[in-house]
Chain A
Amino acid sequence: MAQVQHGALDDPLAGGGTQYLTFILNGEHYGIEILKVQGVQGWQRVTQIPNMPPFLLGVINMRGDVVPIVDLRMRFALGSAEFNEHTVVVIVRVECHDHPRTVGLVVDAVSEVHTIHSVDFRKTPDMSGGIGSEYLKGLGMVGDRMVILFEVEKLVNSGVLAQVSQLPRDAAA
């Protein structure tokens, strides 16, 4: 039984497709490969990090690990949202340069886990504004609803961390 599930997760062609955690951001449905997700946490107070762009809210303690928290709305200028009881942080772990890094992404709400078949992928149309297509893997269909699938590695590496390290080190200069 366990093996069957494992196969379903690993190999999209083995019949199952890939499982995605879907969440809502500014009314749209987005998906992240479930294997990259470490956990989902409720919103908690963050510790601010100096000299960071506004989308980098700060860091939190995630099981003893200090994890940076990114507000995806703010990052992609989707308008700011109230932080309420539905606000959640999706913790993702991705390979970044030399070692894996854990980053938290603030989303409006998580919905559910869907298996999205590879045949459902649509080529991402070029979108002006909002989330650049370079961070997207494609579009998937769940029933008749469209889900935008993130390329998490790119999102975290070039979308977030690269932005941060470009900042001048000596802010006073």
Chain B
Amino acid sequence: MSGDSLDEIRKIFEEECIEGLDTMEAGLLNLGEGGSGGDVVNDIFRAAHSIKGGSATFGYKKIADFTHLMETLLDLVRNGRKAASPPVIELLLGCVDCLREMMGAIHSGEYDEARIAEFMQMLQAELLGDDDAQPQVVTALPEPVAAENAAAQGWRIVFRPHEEMLRSGNQPLHILRALTELGECVTRSDVSRLPSFESFDPESIYLSWEIELKGACSIEQVREVFDWVEGECELSIEPVGAPEPPAAVIAAVAAAPERRGSDRRAPVADDRRDIDRRKKPAAKEAGSIRVGIDKVDNLMNLVGELVITQAMLSQFGRESPEGLDHMGLRDTLEQLSRNTRELQEAVMQVRMLPVSVTFSRFPRLVHDLSTKLGKKIELEISGEQTELDKTVLEKIGDPLVHLIRNSLDHGIEDEATRIAAGKTPHGTIFVSASHESGNIVIRVADDGAGLNSEKILRKARERGLIGEDEELGRQQVNDLIFMPGFSTADVVSDVSGRGVGMDVVRSNIQEIGGRVDVTSTPGEGSVFQITLPLTLAILDGQLVRVGSQVYVVPLLSIIETVLVDRERLNLITGQSPVYRLRGEAVPVLSISRVLRVREDVIEGAAAERERLLVIVESGRDIVGLAVDELLEQHQVVIKSLENNFTQVPGTLGATILGDGTVSLIVDIAGLVRLSGLRTDLGSAASAAA
């Protein structure tokens, strides 16, 4: 095997380990919440086992040894010889963390020896503390021990590969040869499944074999031969000359009934081999492949180009003389446009991942934090199958963690306060994701005390975020928590209160084109609602014309569009014009002036210029963009300007329109910044200072 493919396999092993650790963690948390034993423990055990097996194969002895101990403990839990008590679960969770660190250091080999030793010691202590524990025997031989020794004279093996086994690169001949190395073999081939010649598929296996192996080898050795094809064949291994399995075997078999039941494909329920390879998402999600994100991005770009080309063709088709039509040109173009659209959607789908990828870390977070804070808190998650673009998903994790920490720390009261308020002793945090009108909405809600308006107002005044006698509405007060440097926590704790927080949450979310709002009812709790675009690669845009240039305004930020009534336009000397809209003064921005676009070609009379105001919001800023004309609404593919050029302030990037021209996507927040116009409280205060 070449070094490259070995590296590849090593990488897959590492990825599988990480997945295995996640499985273990989820399972342990489930156990902790009183989840039912059997299957959960088995899942954890299998995950541990596959990590052990893999790390031993690749020579990571430290990891293998460590997992071995964990496995031993898990085995006791599985056999019911040890209760899954909270201390045991805590210990195992700690071990999972430790393993994760070891995985992180796998390349450098710089393990935290002290920490590993500490955990290993704790595991040993836990194991020895159990009278029934016989770690050596249990781990080395979860197999029916007696059967093995009793049947040392030979094995009867029935090996029936699935038809598609060859496609995974396995070669039955190699297996049969390997068996002959173990001892003398008498092999009978079963050809009854052979089809007629016409329907014979050379890439399928129709043969099966019955092998009598004579020799003093253990069942372990025999199974090892079939290691790579497990799950792709039916296999039974029985001792020769042992017609009745001894009682010990029956007992061992009875101990693991659910494993046998769940394993449809391989009748041999071999828990030592019954490892992740089959249990992994591959089995659950009906087959998946790992593909580098750059390949998907490349595919997206190509499809983007295709969409543009198709738009050009359609335009050409519409403008072509009637004569061309009888050749079915128009119908064909129509079909092309349908196909391209479907293709684009399909490619988009590839980048989509369920939010459960991010949500899955919350149970642990809540578990740890609630223990630390001494509060009883339940976490309810819903809509975790909602899909979101990978890039968005990666960036939403930290803000969500922050929101949940906040809810835990500030939102939910301690038990005594809750009981006094007539609430259930345990608090609940709800995290949900859903589709709402073309956006993804993620909510983090709690049934805690809600935001304390008075406290927020007091803190804001103390910190000079607002003026001494400024009066604010309830919603405005709530919004204050998103201001930089704001924290109401009286004591700076490990969990929160350092004053870096909600403003970062807001800016992180705005960075990915979303927004966050808070609503709160005193005594009933608060709800943080995050609205996100489905994907970062595509944006719903309103095309507007200003002079000779066409810009794209993100639809998400548009509130409304109004026809300019010159009477309502106030020009204040030295400042930007202000438009009176239903009693509110909205600053007016001229895109071309702010962006300093050269207006060499001015089309249309002056009266036609900037006669529409697109009212947009960005954070708490509401401004009107003066435009000449509203064009169509489009889903646009965002192209980075940075790629060939440089970042351009005031834009989110560019896109290519149906006619092949490039159009800039306006970044409202950037425009406001560029214009030097500030309407938010923070900068008003700083400007006054």
The interface of chain A, by Cβ under 8 A from chain B, is 45-52, 54, 58-61, 63-68, 99, 101-103, 161, 164-165, 169-173
Contact = CB atoms under 8 A, between A and B. Distances in A.
B590 interface: no
B649 interface: yes
Nearest to A167: B646
Contacts of A68: 644-645
A50 B676 contact: no
A78 B487 CA distance: 59
A66 B640 CA distance: 8
B649 A169 contact: yes
Given A170-B649, A172-B676, A47 B654 contact: yes
B511 interface: no
Interface in B616-659: 639-641, 643-646, 648-651, 654, 656
B468 to A, nearest CB: 30
Contact of B305 (A46, A64, A170): A64
A66 B644 contact: yes
B301 A64 contact: yes
A164 B645 contact: yes
A68 B647 CA distance: 12
B57 to A, nearest CB: 37
Given A63-B305, A66-B641, A165 B646 contact: yes
B305 to A, nearest CB: 3
A65 B643 contact: yes
Given A61-B656, A173-B676, A45 B661 contact: yes
A47 B639 contact: no
B673 interface: yes
B415 to A, nearest CB: 51
Nearest to A168: B649
B675 interface: yes
B597 interface: yes
A91 to B, nearest CB: 10
11 contacts: A49-B648, A51-B649, A51-B674, A59-B654, A60-B662, A61-B660, A63-B305, A66-B643, A101-B643, A172-B594, A172-B676
Contacts of A54: 598
B676 A59 contact: no
A47 B596 contact: no
A52 to B, nearest CB: 8
B664 interface: yes
A67 B662 CA distance: 9
Given A68-B645, A172-B676, 14 more contacts: A47-B654, A47-B663, A50-B595, A50-B597, A50-B649, A51-B649, A51-B650, A64-B305, A66-B639, A99-B643, A103-B645, A161-B646, A171-B649, A172-B675
Contacts, number: 91
A59 B661 CA distance: 9
Contacts of A171: 596, 649, 674
Nearest to A50: B595
A165 B301 CA distance: 26
A61 B661 contact: yes
Contact of B641 (A59, A60, A165): A59
B649 A66 contact: no
A60 B660 CA distance: 9
Contacts of B640: 66
A149 B137 CA distance: 79
| Interface size class, chain B | 20 to 34
Interface of B: 301-302, 304-305, 308, 549, 594-598, 639-641, 643-646, 648-651, 654, 656, 660-664, 673-676
A161 B596 contact: no
Nearest to A162: B646
A51 B673 contact: no
A59 B597 contact: no
A47 B661 CA distance: 7
Contacts of B646: 161, 164-165
A64 B648 contact: no
A20 B641 CA distance: 29
A64 B661 CA distance: 10
A170 B595 CA distance: 11
Contacts of B304: 64
A35 B325 CA distance: 43
A45 B662 CA distance: 9
Contacts of A102: 644
Interface centre among A58, A65, A173 (most CB of B within 10 A): A65
Nearest to A48: B597
Contacts of A173: 676
A17 to B, nearest CB: 30
Contact of A51 (B302, B645, B648, B654): B648
A161 to B, nearest CB: 7
Contacts of A45: 661
A60 B650 CA distance: 18
Contacts of B651: 50
Given A47-B664, A171-B596, A66 B656 contact: yes
Nearest to B662: A47
A48 B592 CA distance: 10
Nearest to A65: B644
A108 to B, nearest CB: 20
A66 B676 contact: no
A71 to B, nearest CB: 13
B673 A170 contact: yes
Given A59-B645, A68-B645, A51 B595 contact: yes
A48 B594 CA distance: 13
A47 B644 CA distance: 15
B678 to A, nearest CB: 11
Interface centre among A48, A67, A68, A99 (most CB of B within 10 A): A48
A59 B639 CA distance: 12
A103 B549 CA distance: 21
A20 B656 CA distance: 32
Contacts of A47: 549, 654, 661-664
Contacts of B308: 61, 64
B645 A161 contact: yes
B644 A48 contact: no
B598 A48 contact: yes
A171 B651 CA distance: 14
Contact of B656 (A52, A58, A64, A101): A64
Contacts of B549: 47-48
B577 to A, nearest CB: 16
Contacts of A169: 649
Interface centre among B648, B651, B673 (most CB of A within 10 A): B648
B645 A50 contact: no
A51 B594 CA distance: 9
A170 B598 contact: no
Nearest to B675: A172
Contacts of B597: 48, 50
A59 B549 CA distance: 12
Contact of B662 (A59, A161, A170): A59
Interface centre among A50, A54, A60 (most CB of B within 10 A): A50
A65 B653 CA distance: 12
A172 B672 CA distance: 10
Nearest to A164: B646
Contacts of A165: 646
A65 B662 CA distance: 10
Contacts of B594: 50, 172
A172 B594 CA distance: 8
A61 B675 contact: no
